[in-house]
Amino acid sequence: MAVNCMHVAEHVKKVKPHTKGCEECLKTGDTWIHLRMCLECGHVGCCDSSKNRRARAHFHSTHHPIVKSAERGEDWSWCFIDEVYL
């Protein structure tokens, strides 16, 4: 069930993905399972099921709380702070 959170208004911007894969994994030659895009800056990172969990690491380093699935056919977002789907 989708829930609104107070972070959407402040942190969601109109952004485009920086890359077609996990930015850090592409640089290091690593792999990922699923991709998430930061809705504040467009950073693309790998999901929590991936060994490097780069999307979550991006949240911790930047405090950008909302990501969107970057997987084809998926249309959902997640707030790391509130731990809710949007």
What are the chain's domains? 8-85 (3.30.40.10)
pLDDT-based confidence at residue 1 (cuts at 50, 70, 90): very low
Residues 26-83: pLDDT tens digits? 999 999 999 999 999 999 999 999 999 999 999 999 999 999 999 999 999 999 999 9
Residue 3 has pLDDT above 90, yes or no: no
Instruction: Say how far apart CA 47 and CA 8 lie, in whole Å.
Output: 20
φ, ψ dihedrals at 37, nearest 5°: -110, 130
Cα separation, 44 vs 42, whole angstroms: 6
Collapse the DSSP code of 78 into the 3-class scheme (helix H, G, I; strand E, B; otherwise coil) and give the result: strand
pLDDT at 2: 52
